[in-house]
Structure 1
Amino acid sequence: MLPPLAALGIAETVFYAPIAPLAVYLVHRNWPTRPRVAWYPFILLSLMRLAGGPVIIALAYDLTSEGLLIAATILLNVGVIPLLIVNFGFVLIVMTDNLSDKNRILSFAKLVRIALLFAIIVLVTGSSMATSQPNIARILQLTGYSAFGAILLGLLSTQLVFWSHRHEYHASSRTVLGGALVAAPFLIARNVYALLYYGTNYYSSVGNGLLEYHTSIWNPIVGSTVLFALMALLTEYIAICIYFYVGFSLPPDRGVAVNSTERDKITRSGRRTRRYRTRRPRKIFT
């Protein structure tokens, strides 16, 4: 009989197989218009999920492998990161297309990127220490996901403020805001699952330097695979479908007539880029 964890790995691979090429096409379609941070994380997420499927299947038949356990822990728990970056990108799209204060946009982008980088470093560090220093790893992982939760709530608050002024924004921005707000509950559910997992699974000392591992139903590997599938993988997948709908429903230029040199002020690193002068076409006929 197929182990539940192996079935989960197979389902993950099957469901994300069509997502990967769609993600590549979406990035290609919307790449000319900045900001691009709202689109390319889909490629990263789909590749992580496709890589995670075989790892989970292998782990289902060898739960004693520390290497597979670490790899599965990292791949299963970092899925929320690309979606959070996409959510940030949606906010950045609204700000870029509707706000004239470019310094404000750059400051906002820099602040969120620093917070995301901190949370990612803490989470990945904690996941890599899951078998060597489990208690420290748990603290780091809880800290990382708490930071993600704070960032998500901050972005959601910003989106709600923008939504209250939506009549002043471009139609494409209203579509982006609507999609972000519809997807928000699924991202919140995904983050809550992670906090429940790290909050209820821990090690305790039993004497003689030995540790006892306490698990719960919120453990994606040895707990309830149904809960993990519903509150983690399914919520991620629904959020992706919502974001894809928004991405493919927008015109490639988002229908906003903005000077390309103004868009190029905001880059992935938050720095200003070089301006290029637009050349006038030659007159062929006089």
Structure 2
Amino acid sequence: MDSAHRASAIAQIVFYAPTVPATLYVGIRAWKYGPRLAWYPAMAFACARLTGGALVLASQHDPENTHLLTATIVLLNIGLVPLIMPFHALTRIVVQASFPGDRRKNMFLRVTRFLLFASVLLLSVSGGLYGNPDRSKVQSTLSRVAYFEFAFVLVALFGMAAWLYFVARDKIQDGQVIYIKWLLIASPILCIRTVFGIISVFEATGKHFLTSIWSPMFGNAVLFSLMALVPEFIVLCIFVYLGHYRYSTADQYGLVPRKGLFERSGKKDEGEQTSDSVKMT
């Protein structure tokens, strides 16, 4: 491991050390107003990046430890999972609140959510196959399928967000245009991260993992930082801001908090709260 990778790992630790408590605070404050998949993945992602930076440094001192390398690689490759989940969750909450009962839009949300979770499963299995040369082709195939599904879901969500903002903005429930606006800002940034992931699964898997410049751990550290780490951090900050907005405006827009882990304090869901909201222009 060269000095650039060490510097990248140290930067992860420096930037995410304060980010972890910030995401935890915002996530805990916002979770009771839903959607939980918008805040929990951000919390887990910040912790994963902080841990990943520490593991990269640890693997330098113990390069023969296969289990340590596997854990490090899984954490380095986990970037898209907890970032697309909040994107989907916030899109879902806007669609279901503003277009309740729309079967086509609900089907869109179900299909994209299924593809997203299937991608997570494929990527997890692929990461567990690292270090097994006999299954390098299987690992490569699973990673490629997972990233193409990520790309499809991201493009689909971007299209939905663009339609909501530019075509159906007047139909969006009060106070929710801000979610779509920031999701549109996050979309091209997430695309950069997705492009890096797709290229890496073609150029840095199997026997090329140790030699390709696209390898997150052994490749070009500057490339990985600019196309993966920096976009991830920007998008995470966007979700933290939206989480803060979520709980700070809950009373203004009549959001009903949850009493416990799975219950709400009232029977109304967000799609039924239009009459309780204050019109936002």
TM-score by length of 2: 0.83
Alignment of 1:188-203 (within 5 A): 188-203=191-206
The one-letter amino acid paired with 1:229 is: S
Say which of 140, 147, 150 aligns to 2:149.
147
Q: Which residue of 2 aligns with 1:225?
A: 221
Higher helix share: 2
Equivalent position SS for 2:62 = coil
Contact kept? 1:200, 1:215, Cα under 8 Å: no
Matches within 5 A, 1:16-165: 16-101=16-101, 107-132=107-132, 133-164=135-166, 165=168
Cα distance change, pair 55–145 in 1 and its aligned pair in 2 (3 A): same
Query: CA distance change for structure 1 residues 74 and 214 in 2, over 3 Å: closer, same or farther?
Result: closer
Residues 5 and 221 of structure 2 are in contact (CA less than 8 Å); yes or no, is this contact kept in structure 1?
yes
Give unpaired runs (5+ residues) of structure 2: 269-281
Distance in 2 (CA, whole Å) between partners of 1:111 and 1:249 is: 28
* Correspondence list, 1:147-186, <5 A: 147-164=149-166, 165-186=168-189
Amino acid at match of 2:218: V
Q: Distance in 2 between matches of 1:152 and 1:126?
A: 21
Residue 8 of structure 2 is aligned to residue 11 of structure 1: no
Amino acid at match of 2:19: I
C-alpha distance after superposition, 1:140-168 (max 9, x if no partner): 11111111111111111111110122133
SS in 1 for 2:218: coil
One-letter code aligned to 1:237: F
Q: TM-score, normalised by structure 1?
A: 0.82
Structure 1 stretches lacking a partner, 5+ long: 205-211, 279-286
Higher alpha-carbon deviation: 94-103 or 225-234: 94-103
State the Cα distance separating 1:247 from its structure 2 match.
Answer: 2.5
Deviation at 1:35, TM superposition (A): 2.2
Question: Is the radius of gyration larger for structure 1 or structure 2?
Answer: 1
Contact (CA 8 Å) 2:96, 2:106: kept in 1 or not?
Answer: no
Paired positions, count: 262
Following superposition, the deviation at residue 72 of structure 1 comes to 1.3
* CA apart distance, 1:6: 2.2
The residue number in structure 1 matching 2:279 is none
Q: CA RMSD in A?
A: 2.8
Task: Give the equivalent residue in structure 2 for 1:207.
Answer: none
Quote the residue 2:272 is aligned against: none
Asked if the contact 2:42/2:239 (under 8 Å) is kept, the reply is no
Per-residue deviation, 1:51:
1.4
Q: Which moved more, 1:113-122 or 1:168-177?
A: 168-177
Q: 1:106 to 1:254 in 2, by over 3 A?
A: farther
Does the aligned pair in 1 maintain the 2:126–2:143 contact within 8 Å?
yes
Percent of aligned positions that are identical: 28
Q: Counterpart of 1:139 in structure 2: which amino acid?
A: T
